[in-house]
Amino acid sequence: MVLFGMCEFRYVHRMKLRLNYQVLLVLQIQFDGPECHVPNLSYYVAFATVFFLLALVCLIQLVMCIVAEWQRMKAPSFLQACHVTTQKLLYFVVFLASIIRGAYFTSPVRK
């Protein structure tokens, strides 16, 4: 038993190796104490930031793809430029997934 601040840390080792000998090692980590139930805000902020930046990059790429297609047209039409292609669909799906995951990490839940 090791104490880190107000968190109590307990561990047990067991493991099996199949060489000429056998060793049993199991790692069981348990945290207990009042400070262990507080969410790690820096963890949530870091992951939310990464996912929101990824969403921003995908959105920029999607807009650039639409603008490039619009500029190639002889008779520019916004609806024709937004025509679904594989590239645009992938950018949109990754944008949507990143926004959802970023929103998930913006609200840490206490247990």
Domain range for 48: 41-105
Distance CA 90, CA 98 (A): 12
Residue 27 confidence (pLDDT): 57
Alpha helices in 1-111 (DSSP H): 41-72, 78-81, 86-105
Same domain, 45 and 98: yes
Residue 89 lies in a domain: yes
* Torsion on CA atoms 71, 74, 80, 83, rounded to nearest 10: -60
49-89, pLDDT tens digit by residue? Answer: 999 999 999 999 999 999 999 999 999 898 999 899 999 99
Same domain, 19 and 53: no
The residue written with tokens 């307990």 in the block is 10
Same domain, 68 and 99: yes
Of 104 and 1, more confident:
104
Residue 33 lies in a domain: yes
Count structural domains, the chain.
Answer: 2
pTM given for the model: 0.66
Residue 15 has pLDDT above 70, yes or no: no
Residue 107 has pLDDT above 70, yes or no: yes
